[in-house]
Chains A and B, each alone.
Chain A
Amino acid sequence: MMLRIVVQEADFDAGAELAHLNLPGVGGVGSFIGVVRDSGGLKALHLEHYPGMTEKAVKKIAEQAAARWPLLGCTVIHRVGRLAPEQKIVFVGAASAHREAALQAAAFLIDWLKTSAPFWKREEFVSGESAWVAARAADEAAAQNWV
């Protein structure tokens, strides 16, 4: 399986990433792109991570996806640093011979990234205030649905 894991401050080219996943034998590519939601008073989102552990944790999640579905390729790109509303945060892509595996694996990847990779978000508001985002029980439940 082609496995591509990137943690970076820079933006990514989603079209190029999808093209990377168009590998020999692939019949479908499932993907998800997370974006900073423009919720009125938000000025920016700051993403922090645990260098070293992040890459290992994401690799483990991708390997679990590959153990579960017959994937030919898997890409996870997660941005860190300061991101303005409407900017892209995360890309997950899964390529397989058939659509069901590709779509399910992409959903699994993003659900597990939210609960099992060491990233933290802090919101910076237009008002000048700032607050760490609290983990959501709904995200944990979504990940547990795959168990």
Chain B
Amino acid sequence: MRVLYFAWLREKIGLAEEDIDLPAEVASVAALIDWLKSRGPGYAAAFADQKLVRCAVDQEFAAQDTAIAGAAEIAFFPPVTGG
């Protein structure tokens, strides 16, 4: 599974994207966030305030309870500020 990070999440984690082999028990966006947080201080900082984190599963906005089994691409980013 490919995981992408944008804006200040990318800066805090220090990566724009990575390929991850997830344990099967990590089945939702929320579970993925918890799993990522344990990977290091950059991840923990990026996901410290989850009210400021949005997600897309296969390029569709997704809530934290969204199932991720079979997803190819998951992205994390702050609330959008375009326009």
Interfacial residues, chain A to chain B (CB-CB below 8 A)? 34, 47-50, 52-53, 56-57, 78, 89-90, 110, 113-122, 132-135, 139
Q: Are A113 and B83 in contact, CB atoms less than 8 angstroms apart?
A: yes
- In the complex, whether B46 has a CB less than 8 A from a CB of chain A is no
B48 to chain A, nearest CB (A): 15
Q: Which residues of B contact A120 (CB under 8 A)?
A: 6-7, 77-78, 80-82
Question: Contact mask B59-83 → A, CB, 8 Å, 1/0?
Answer: 1110000000000000101111111
Q: Are A119 and B8 in contact, CB atoms less than 8 angstroms apart?
A: no
From A50, A116, A117, contact of B6 by CB (8 A) = A50
The closest CB in chain A to the CB of B59 belongs to A53
The closest CB in chain A to the CB of B56 belongs to A53
Interfacial residues, chain B to chain A (CB-CB below 8 A)? 4, 6-8, 56, 59-61, 75, 77-83
Q: Are A90 and B78 in contact, CB atoms less than 8 angstroms apart?
A: no
Q: Are A50 and B81 in contact, CB atoms less than 8 angstroms apart?
A: no
Q: 23 A-B residue contacts at CB 8 Å?
A: A34-B83, A49-B82, A50-B4, A50-B77, A78-B82, A89-B83, A90-B82, A113-B83, A114-B80, A114-B81, A114-B82, A116-B61, A117-B82, A118-B6, A118-B56, A118-B75, A119-B81, A119-B83, A120-B80, A120-B81, A120-B82, A121-B82, A132-B78
Q: Which residues of A contact B77 (CB under 8 A)?
A: 50, 118, 120
The closest CB in chain B to the CB of A110 belongs to B83
Q: Are B81 and A121 in contact, CB atoms less than 8 angstroms apart?
A: yes
The closest CB in chain B to the CB of A118 belongs to B80
Q: Are B78 and A48 in contact, CB atoms less than 8 angstroms apart?
A: no
Q: CA separation between A3 and B57, bound complex, in Å?
A: 25
Given A119-B83, A121-B82, A135-B80, verify A56-B59 contact (CB < 8 Å): yes
Q: Which of B79, B80, B83 has the most CB of A within 10 A?
A: B83
Given A118-B56, A135-B78, verify A48-B83 contact (CB < 8 Å): no
Q: Which residues of B contact A122 (CB under 8 A)?
A: 7
Q: CA separation between A78 and B82, bound complex, in Å?
A: 9
A3 to chain B, nearest CB (A): 18
Given A50-B56, A53-B56, A53-B75, verify A117-B7 contact (CB < 8 Å): no
